[in-house]
Chains A and B, each alone.
Chain A
Amino acid sequence: MSIDLSQFFEVFFEESFEGLDTMEAELLNLVPGEEDLETINTIFRAAHSIKGGSGTFGFSSVADFTHVLETLLDQIRQGERELSTEHVNLLLKAVDCLRGLLAALQADQATDLTEANALRMQFEHVLEKKDNVLESKPQNEAVLSTSNTYQINFKPHHHLFKTGNEPLYMISELAELGELKTTVFYDSVPDITELSYDECFLHWRFFLNTSHDEKAIKEVFEWVEDDADITVELCVRSFDDEQPASISDHNHDLVLSEQPEKLEKITTLPAKSKPSSNKDKKVASAPESTSIRVGIDKVDSLINMVGELVITQAMLNQLSEQEITSTTITSLKEGLAQLAHNTRDLQENVMRIRMLPINFVFSRFPRLVRDIAQKLNKKVELKLIGEQTELDKTVMEKISDPMVHLLRNSLDHGLETVDQRVLAGKNPVGIVTLNAFHQGGNIVIEIMDDGQGLNTKKIKEKAIANELITADSNLTDNEINELIFMPGFSTMDEVSELSGRGVGMDVVKRNIQSLNGSVEVTSAPGIGSTFTIRLPLTLAILDGQLVKVAQHTYIIPLISIVESLQIDITKVSRVGKDLDVLRLRDEYIPILRLYAIFNHQNAIESLDKTLLVVVETDNQKVGLLVDDLLSQQQVVIKSLEANYHKVDGVSGATILGDGRVSLIVDISGLIKLSGLKKPGSQELTIETQATLEAL
């Protein structure tokens, strides 16, 4: 029997990582002195499963390492050892270490055991068992070159059958070890009236000529040691010379006489070779893949939906075979409406497959916060809200790092030290809240702290020192706060180990923007700061507003549109050479002429006959001049880079219902292009546009 264990590796890794996540989460819940037994049991179970699995699948380094933490956990579980913070710290480190080991094994890389061994020493130190843990298992079963004969007496207790054991199988097993002669004794079989079918009244004596040792024989009876009288003795006599002891003198009723006969057959059983291996049945191991776990309900609803789609298709098919009358037209329309409905449902459900609860990112944070708080010597409580909010897997993977950065920032710069908090009359324990929720087609993630808030004065000084703004700039508090997202900005006098490693908030902002998202900050001195990240639920689909510019259709991301309006020409004034601004309530909105930026002819140029779409990005509002507003629809984003090359002012393209290619405008790119931020604009030539349409 040869089974390729590697086919189970992927499941093993997946569940081990899940187990480690569970361990970590539960460890963080542990408060030494008031630990909950169920929590410890859960942690123990996870460690135990990893140990069992890794041993079975041949990852002995993991199994050995898990053994020490399992031992510690078991002692705590049994109440033999009191849980201390040191234990929790050590166990958390072990979780990290195991994660590393397993990841290396999963990637088929060599494992680095330096850390594991160091940690193991620490565990052993804690366990005060420095000597006996490292000791390797003794080599079992030294194969004897010569064969020996053993005399075995086996007298099961009456209740043996009730344990599910069957003496016949044991005798067969014994026969496999060598040449076996069996004698059965039925002297204790009672009278037929007292005979009970579920009790064992027979006992046996065997002579076994085998090359195996006594241990192998005892193993046969291992399960029934307590349910039978068993003796195993090495015989000096040679097997062949000696007749087995004769059947007992007691001459009872021979009702059961067939029983010994049955056993006689067994005595002649030769030592069997192992069953032939099923090598041809070997299953190809699953290829390594980045997999995604999908709930059965999601798959079921997909299957359901496809079923409905098939029915609709069949209905339409049937209609197409009929003659066209007014009734068939009506049914056709109904069918198409049904089809549209099915398609939309299907699309939504397919998108749901890629959606995972944001908990996948959030779950890392309790640990992070604990570690950072310990380092900073601050007291922090982390609150997680909306952990089940779903988000596209890719977006999730990419948002993790910026979130870590923001969180560190809140802990490091936002929250005060215990002393400062007490002095300010606040609770010494600072609260950091992560809140995720859906809003429109977006997911919003808020990172709130109840710390000191942003110091606008200090920010402004720093910005002036760094020449980001001039000393006479008249900025609102909000605008000052936004400065922290500027490249090359840091208010900490010393670069902190935690959040100041050269990666500034500008990188955070850039990363989030690359996901079509935005980040902003609000802050109140002494009360705290809130960072709000807004992200599209998926990168593949965008809610767009279709607009007409000359004869072309462009798409503006709906998320960035503030409002659309007709221009009141009296409120437009010209600034500089060719920039028009519109006074809208209290703000001045620069007007960007899309036709000019994209270099189109024949567009409506007069301001009072066109429409203005006010969009906002990076806290800057601009108005985009368009000929007309068309419909709003979800569009599937096709990358321009993949099909053509990057074009400034355009974030991607899509294919419209009529088959034409339409470009999705990139607002911040447009602002750059228009020269509002940087002098010298590039122009998208009409040739580029034509090439794109030909794609």
Chain B
Amino acid sequence: MKKILAVDDSASMRQMVSFTLKTAGFDVIEAKDGSEALAIAKQQDFDVVISDVNMPIMDGITLIRELRGLPNYKFTPLLMLTTESGLEKKVEGKAAGATGWIVKPFNPEQLLAVIKKVIR
């Protein structure tokens, strides 16, 4: 089973992402901010990491930069959850090593469609 790390400080978004992915047959681990996600990611490997950008303690961009620097995450798809207003965040995220982004608001179908870009 493919494993996905879902990172968001908003519990409802996290649960929605997690539930959608679990329903689609993925194994999902949740984290509520970048630093928690980083700690988890160091302990176990994931096939995909989906992270919100705006988070307390450690934001999504920093998380992606940190992850991309780890040997085990050199090629791992790292996705950002952004809003349509966050265009400059996309650029910043790409520079940090993000694979791609999902624009909020999105529905479960859209999320799964996007996930298919990086994992099958």
Contact = CB atoms under 8 A, between A and B. Distances in A.
Nearest to A78: B88
A370 to B, nearest CB: 25
Interface residues of B, number: 42
Contacts of A42: 56
Contacts of A44: 54
B13 interface: yes
A15 B10 contact: yes
B54 A165 contact: no
A52 B11 contact: no
Contacts of A274: 109
A265 B39 CA distance: 40
Nearest to A172: B120
A55 B105 contact: yes
Interface in B73-120: 74-78, 81, 83, 85, 94, 97-101, 104-109, 112, 116-120
A164 B120 contact: no
Interface string A25-49: 0000000000000000010110011
Interface in A1-20: 1, 3, 5, 7-9, 11-12, 14-15
B16 interface: yes
Given A1-B112, A223-B99, A57 B104 contact: no
A11 B19 CA distance: 13
A49 B10 CA distance: 7
A54 to B, nearest CB: 8
Contacts of B94: 163, 226
A1 B23 CA distance: 9
Contacts, number: 117
A222 B80 CA distance: 13
B75 A161 contact: yes
A520 interface: no
A166 interface: yes
A53 B12 CA distance: 7
A44 B85 CA distance: 13
A165 B23 contact: no
B15 interface: yes
Interface of B: 9-13, 15-16, 19-20, 23-24, 52, 54-56, 68, 74-78, 81, 83, 85, 94, 97-101, 104-109, 112, 116-120
Given A54-B105, A172-B120, A274-B109, 14 more contacts: A3-B19, A3-B20, A5-B107, A8-B15, A15-B10, A44-B54, A45-B56, A52-B13, A56-B107, A70-B85, A71-B85, A162-B97, A165-B100, A173-B117
Interface of A: 1, 3, 5, 7-9, 11-12, 14-15, 42, 44-45, 48-49, 51-57, 63, 67, 70-71, 74, 161-166, 169-170, 172-173, 198, 220, 222-223, 226, 274-275, 278, 281, 283
5 contacts: A1-B23, A11-B12, A172-B116, A173-B117, A223-B99
